[in-house]
Amino acid sequence: MAPAAANEESPYLRHWSRVYAEDPSARTREWHCAFDDAVDVLRPYVAPIVASSPSRSLVVDVGCGGSSIGYDLAKAFAFTDVLMTDIDPGIVEILRERYASSSSSSSSSSSAAAAPATRCEVADARSMPTVPTGAAVVVLDKGTVDALHGDDDKLATLRECVRMANRPDGVGVVASISFPAADRLRLLERVARETRVGLRVRVVGDGDPARGRRAVFVAVLGKRVERVETPRCELSETVLARIRRSGSVVEDEPAGEEDALTLFDDSDGDGDDS
C-alpha cells in the first residue's frame, strides 16, 4: 500500500474526506443493506470455508467507510482476522478506535474466536499490494465499486478483489454488494471471464425494482461458487433475465424506433408550407 500522502491528489480521497467531515452519520452508515440482509445469501459460499481454511483466516473489507459488514462477517463465521480499509485516513482512525478492543484481544484464543483480530488501514481499493495474492478467504466490496467513476476504476477494483481471494486451495471468495444495474452485471461477468472464476448473482430486497422496490445485487465470485447448491430465487431470475433480454433492470423490452425522442411526428408533415 502506498503511503497516504501519495493519495492526496485523489478525487476519491478529497470527496470522502469531505463527506466524513461534514456528515457524521456517514461514519456509521451501512450503504445498500445491512449485514443481516446479505448473510443468508453469503452463508452457502462462506460457511464451507471455515472447515477448510487455515488456522489464520483473513477477511478483507475493501473501501468499507463506516460499514461494519467485514467485521460482522468475520465474527459470525469465526474467521480469525479482518482487515478494514478505506482511502480516507480520517475514517480509518475512527475505525481503529471503534475496533481497538478487538485488536488488543487477538492474543487470547478464546476472545479471538468471539471477536476477530482487527486491523484498519489506509488503502486505495484499485491497488492493494500489501495484501498478498490469495491471502484472504473472503474479500468484501460493499458499495465501493458503485462509488468509483468509469469502467477502468471499477474493473481494477474488482480484479484486485479477486486477486486477494485467489487462493491455491480454491476456497477464497469475493462478495460484491452493489446497486442492481445492468452495467454492474456486465462488469462482474467480464471480471469472472478474465480471472476464470465462477459468478453467482442474487437480487435481494423488498421486491422487483421495475415496480419501484428497493433491491441490491449480492454477487459472489470464486473458483468453486458454481458448485454450491442454493435455492431458486424467482426475483433474481426475473431481474437477471430482463437485463439479458433488454439491457435494463426495469424495462422488459429493448428500446425501439418508436421510443426515439423526436421533435416532429407524421402529422407535422415535412415542414413545407408552400
> 241: which 3 cell numbers?
433475465
- Domain count of the chain? 1
Q: For the whole model, what pTM was predicted? A: 0.85
Amino acid at 99: Y
In a domain, 263, yes or no: no
Q: Given a cut of 80, is residue 3 above it in pLDDT? A: no
Q: CATH number, domain at 241?
A: 3.40.50.150
What mean pLDDT, rounded, does the chain reach? Answer: 87
In a domain, 183, yes or no: yes
In a domain, 264, yes or no: no
pLDDT of the residue at 264: 47
In a domain, 219, yes or no: yes
Neighbours of 108 (CB within 10 A): 12
Q: What is the mean predicted confidence (pLDDT) over 160-168?
A: 96
Q: What φ, ψ does residue 100 adopt, rounded to 5°?
A: -60, -40
Cβ distance 228 to 45 under 8 Å? yes
In a domain, 272, yes or no: no
pLDDT range class, residue 260, cuts 50, 70, 90: low
pLDDT of the residue at 110: 46
pLDDT of the residue at 258: 63
Q: What is the mean predicted confidence (pLDDT) over 79-102?
A: 93
The 10s digit of each residue's pLDDT in 236-254 is: 999 999 999 999 999 987 7
Cβ distance 219 to 188 under 8 Å? yes
pLDDT range class, residue 257, cuts 50, 70, 90: low
- Of the given ranges (47-56, 74-83, 150-159, 240-249), which has the lowest mean pLDDT? 47-56
The 10s digit of each residue's pLDDT in 14-50 is: 999 999 999 999 898 898 999 999 999 999 999 999 8
Cβ distance 171 to 52 under 8 Å? yes
In a domain, 208, yes or no: yes
Q: Given a cut of 50, is residue 274 above it in pLDDT? A: no
The 10s digit of each residue's pLDDT in 184-228 is: 999 999 999 999 999 999 999 999 999 999 999 999 999 999 999
Q: What is the DSSP letter of 132?
A: -
Q: Given a cut of 90, is residue 114 above it in pLDDT? A: no
Identify any residues that bridge with 203 across adjacent strands, giving them in sequence order: 217
Nearest in space to 204 (alpha carbons), one of 39, 60, 70: 39
Which domain, by its residues, includes 242?
A: 4-254
pLDDT range class, residue 8, cuts 50, 70, 90: low
Q: Going by C-beta distance under 8 Å and a sequence separation of 6 or more, which residues neighbour residue 235?
A: 203, 205, 207, 208, 215
pLDDT of the residue at 101: 76
In a domain, 101, yes or no: yes
In a domain, 207, yes or no: yes
pLDDT of the residue at 108: 46
State which H helix or E strand residue 41 sits in.
Answer: helix 35-52
Q: What is the mean predicted confidence (pLDDT) over 79-108?
A: 85
Of residues 220 and 270, the one with the higher pLDDT is: 220
